[in-house]
Amino acid sequence: MLKKPWILLGLPLFLQAVPHWYENTPNKPQFFYGSGSGNTREAAKEKALNDLASNISVHVSSQTTSTTTRNNNKLDKKASQHIKLVVDSLKLVHVDTDKQECQKGVCYTRVVMDKNMFLNLLSKRYADLYNTLSPFKPTQGCHGIFIREKQQIQTLLDKMTPLQEILNAYGRSSAPLTSYKELIKANSPKPKAQIVFANGADGEIADVLMGQYARFVRQTTAPGFYSIDNKIFTSEGNGLFHIGLDINIKNCQGDIIYSKHLNADQHSRGFAIERIKAQVFKQLKNYQSGTGAGTADVNSDNIEF
């Protein structure tokens, strides 16, 4: 009895000829290319876009020399992810399909992106962000920044560093970020500030408030830093213990940049202290993030950790 020959269902897929253009990327340094294959045109194009983004990321990783984003001469995971996000955000808008072909259930796609257009767009985005960053640099005679400014600077640096890495890797100049990174380092883990209480302030309440301020800033008596001025009022009546607190945050020139009056009325001194303590934390937390100009959630007694 003759045996039937094996029927290899997958054989046509293996034997079919891959398009010549797919295996031979054009040698045109003025363009970025990416190639991909899939069961549909859409799947092939998506893989080609990912290939293009990966090619750029690999090149940047091999060329970058930043000491702030490299560990043992390798781009750290966070920096690599940021670079990929930058490329991903641009690839869908500025990428064209160069070639596409489908045969025997498999589609092949090559996409192309103009290198100068991509880098010019990155340069413009970087310059715009840098203009946003510049006003945060302390003026002459000032030695520190405050909690909101630090967070805003760090957010901008997180956006700008991967842009700078890409631009540098392709020979494009960019305004330096060194002074801002040093500013963040000098104000880490927390910025310095003068914490001042008016004469005659209730010592117990002042100590509790100092504990809350210490969660956001480091106390200093040196000039040239922001200050948090506090005035505490206490009274009793109608079975309630009242604490009033005036907070004025001043920049290093002495200008008030934030002012708030807080009240706590409770049936005991201890509860009133806990209430004012929670409000101060909420005010600073909201000021730091810019939420409601520091006024949101002041009626909550909860303290987040």
> CA 280 to CA 159: how far, in whole Å?
31
> CA 189 to CA 203: how far, in whole Å?
27
Cβ proximity of 230 and 196 under 8 Å: yes
Q: pLDDT for 186-230, tens place per residue?
A: 899 999 999 999 999 999 999 999 999 999 999 999 999 999 999
Position 162 scores a pLDDT of: 87
192-197/218-219 β-pairing: parallel
76: DSSP letter: -
Measuring CA to CA, how many Å separate 252 from each of 16, 138, 152, 233? 73, 9, 18, 26
Letter string b/e over residues 226-258, b meaning 16 or more CB atoms within 10 A of that residue's CB: bbbbbbbebeeeeeebbbebebbbbbbeeeeeb
Hey, what's the torsion of the CAs at 122, 125, 128, 132, to 10 degrees?
-110
Position 93 scores a pLDDT of: 65
190: DSSP letter: S
Position 15 scores a pLDDT of: 52
For tokens 């909550």, name the residue: 300
Q: 276: part of which helix (H) or strand (E)?
A: helix 269-289
Hey, what's the torsion of the CAs at 151, 156, 132, 89, to 10 degrees?
-140
> CA 122 to CA 96: how far, in whole Å?
18
Position 130 scores a pLDDT of: 96
Position 78 scores a pLDDT of: 61
Torsion over CA: 77, 78, 82, 83 (sign): negative
Position 76 scores a pLDDT of: 57
Position 1 scores a pLDDT of: 46
Low-confidence ranges of the chain (pLDDT < 50): 1-11, 13-14, 66-68, 70-74, 293-305
Q: pLDDT for 95-107, tens place per residue?
A: 899 999 999 899 9
Closest CA to 22 of 39, 1, 36: 36
Position 84 scores a pLDDT of: 67
**What is the pTM for the complete model shown?**
0.74
Position 139 scores a pLDDT of: 84
